[in-house]
Amino acid sequence: MANDKPKKIKLDKEQIEYLSKLPETGMGYQIVDITLKNGRKINNQTVLNSEFLLLENDDISLEQISKIELSKK
């Protein structure tokens, strides 16, 4: 049976510090675009508390992430 709950990844310290300095999108969360090390981009993902990345459909690991940026509105 499919699990509809998004996968939650705890970001590394550097990423958390980086996101903590950027504005929130709403109370307690930021919407981000992720670039993977293979160049693939996953846009409009949610990060809670500048700390936990929620992935709706993608099954990636922390090690695959190259860059995180705030999504443009």
1 is a site residue for other proteins (CB under 8 A): no
Site residues for other proteins, 8-67, by CB under 8 A, read 16, 20-24, 26-29, 46, 48-51, 54
Contact 28, 48 (CB under 8 A): yes
CB of 16 to other proteins, least distance (A): 7
| Distance between CA atoms of residues 23 and 69, nearest Å | 11
Q: Which residue has the tokens 């903590």?
A: 20
- Residue 19 C-alpha from the chain's centroid: 10
Query: Letter for the amino acid at 37?
Result: K
Of 4 and 38, the one with the shorter C-beta distance to other proteins is 4
* Interface residue list for other proteins (CB under 8 A): 5-6, 16, 20-24, 26-29, 46, 48-51, 54
